[in-house]
Structure 1
Amino acid sequence: MLLDTYQAQGLLTVTLVNGQTSDAGVYAYRGDLVLKEGKLREGSTNTNDRNPPEALLIHSALVIENDKIKFISGLLEELNLLPLFVEKYKADFAEDCIALIYVENIGKGMQVVMEGVTFKLLPYKQGLVWNELLEELYIEKNDLKGQSAEDKVATAYREAKTYKPNTEVVSFEEAEKNTIVVIKEAAVGAI
């Protein structure tokens, strides 16, 4: 199974959900998806003994069917991570893969086609990515009541199938022209 393969390769981290939905053969995942592994720890030859990942698809949500990614959502800190993500996972995309990706450093929504998948890119300001996704897809908390965590991801996927953003399809090069500088506020803890 694809998620087991990813787990064995150390590509899943901060896992919140990882299991079968109520539909046989359909699996859901929520957590961080590694885009670029950390370097091997000094002196280690074990490929899973690595420093923390260098790049992630943060707070991702995936639906896997027939060992193919049917749905993917998550947060990229920078648009330039999208080609890295596509290169790493393109062999696992279903032909009809639906991708809704939040990106911190874009100023407006847009769509980019890469490897046959239309990535619907959404600007991200702050908040929980999962909650932002549910709001974007007009899914109310009551719509998810009584569902397993895996079925909640499947519900998001079903709603994403009909999601049609009012944004233009642009080349990746054109998308790069719409990046912005993100200034993060320093967090202050207890004194």
Structure 2
Amino acid sequence: MTTIDKTAFARLEAEGRLLNPVLKAATKKAGRFGFRGELALVFDTQLADEARPPLVTCDQVIAVAHEGEPHIAFFTGFLLSFEWLKNVADVLGDTLSPSGKYFLYCDNIDLSKKYQVELNGATFFILPIHEATVYNEILELLYLEKNDLKKLDTAGKTDAVANAALKFTGKFEAITYEEGLKVMGPVRNPNENRPV
């Protein structure tokens, strides 16, 4: 059975970055480990033994890594701001690979645009978020039918998404991170309009 310490997730786990997991376990595919949850990008200052939530996270993460391989093969998640792409690239760091498939749904990019950005030797596909969830968005992008996956458990669904993502060959408009910063919109306050 594949354990997290034998995969590219080991460092992220040791750093306490894999939060609120819906899945953090071996998947149905031999040698594959899956994670679904949040990735902590920027930690708050810790005071004594007080545990504070991170200041910045990548939410709705779906990712897989394979036993004995140094890289995360597939990663997708939600960012409130395109600007945090740099944080994702820095945090994932040595787990990124030129052959990996990395998709980030950003809340503050033009709904009609899709980009690809090279950072830390990897290509990130940057997409707007139309639906409420990354899961629904990635299914649509990869032409996966939700009904076909309904009977699968979380690990099975993660495998199905990862298998399709690893075959993805799409190309979007290539821009630099700096160009992306210039075209991104304002960052929405996720707490506005919430009942107090």
TM tier relative to shorter chain: 0.7 to 0.9
Identify unmatched segments of 5+ residues in structure 2: none
User: What corresponds to 2:183 in structure 1?
Assistant: 178
Q: What does the per-residue CA deviation read over 1:156-178, in whole Å, with 9 as the maximum and x for residues that have no partner?
A: 12212333445211111122222
Deviation at 1:188, TM superposition (A): 4.3
Give the TM-score normalised by structure 2: 0.84
Q: How does 1:36-185 map to 2 (within 5 A)?
A: 36-41=42-47, 43-44=48-49, 49-65=50-66, 66-107=69-110, 108-165=113-170, 167-183=172-188
Deviation at 1:68, TM superposition (A): 2.2
Q: What does the per-residue CA deviation read over 1:90-116, in whole Å, with 9 as the maximum and x for residues that have no partner?
A: 211234110010011111211101122
Structure 1 residues 67 and 26 mapped into 2: Cα distance closer, same or farther (>3 Å)?
A: farther
Q: Over the residues paired in the alignment, what is the CA RMSD in angstroms?
A: 2.1
- For 1:15, give the aligned amino acid: P
Work out whether 1:18 is the aligned partner of 2:24: yes
Alpha-carbon distance in structure 2 between the residues aligned to 1:133 and 1:15: 19
Give the TM-score normalised by structure 1: 0.86
CA contact (8 A) 1:101 1:120 kept: yes
* Percent identity (aligned): 26
Alpha-carbon distance in structure 2 between the residues aligned to 1:189 and 1:135: 32
Structure 1 outlier segments of 4+, above 6 Å? none
- For 1:86, give the aligned amino acid: A
Structure 1 residues 184 and 9 mapped into 2: Cα distance closer, same or farther (>3 Å)?
A: closer
Alpha-carbon distance in structure 2 between the residues aligned to 1:57 and 1:36: 10
Structure 1 residues 188 and 146 mapped into 2: Cα distance closer, same or farther (>3 Å)?
A: closer
Deviation at 1:145, TM superposition (A): 3.9
Deviates more, 1:171-180 or 1:123-132: 123-132
- For 1:175, give the aligned amino acid: G
- Aligned residue pairs total 185
Q: What does the per-residue CA deviation read over 1:12-34, in whole Å, with 9 as the maximum and x for residues that have no partner?
A: 11211111112221111110011
User: What corresponds to 1:27 in structure 2?
Assistant: 33
